[in-house]
Amino acid sequence: MSTGHFLSVRFRPWTYVLLALVASGLAIALSHSLNSGSLGPETIPQAGGATTLYNRSSHAFGQPAPGLNAAEAAKHTAGDAPLMRCLSLHLQRLTLG
C-alpha cells in the first residue's frame, strides 16, 4: 500500500467513463430544471406579491400596479408627475455633480 499523494492513485479507464456519464447527467438535469421554469420568477416570492411587475424600462414607475380600483388608479396618476420630477432632479444632481 502506497503512502504517497492521493493523485498518485491509478484509476482504471472505465472510471473515467463513469465520471463523464455522471457529469453529463448532472449537466442535463441542471439544464432541464433551468429551462423548465422551475427556478423562474413565478416560483420565487416577490416583494410586491401579485402587484410585482417585470419592467426594467425608464417607464417602469409610470405603470400602475395591476388590480388597482378607480380611486387607487387616480391616486397613482396624481402622484406620477411629482415622482417623475423628483427622479429627474435626482438624476440631474448625479450627472452634474
Q: What is the pLDDT of residues 27-36, one digit of tens each?
A: 888 877 666 5
Over range 56-69, report the average pLDDT: 80
Q: How confident is the model at residue 17 (pLDDT cuts 50, 70, 90)?
A: confident
- The pLDDT score that the predictor gives to residue 34 is 64
**Does pTM top 0.85 for this prediction?**
no
Residues contacting residue 83 through CB under 8 Å, at least 6 positions apart: 61
Question: How far apart (Å, rounded) are the C-alpha atoms in residues 57 and 63?
Answer: 11
- The pLDDT score that the predictor gives to residue 36 is 57
What residue spans define the domains of the chain?
A: 54-96
- The pLDDT score that the predictor gives to residue 71 is 92
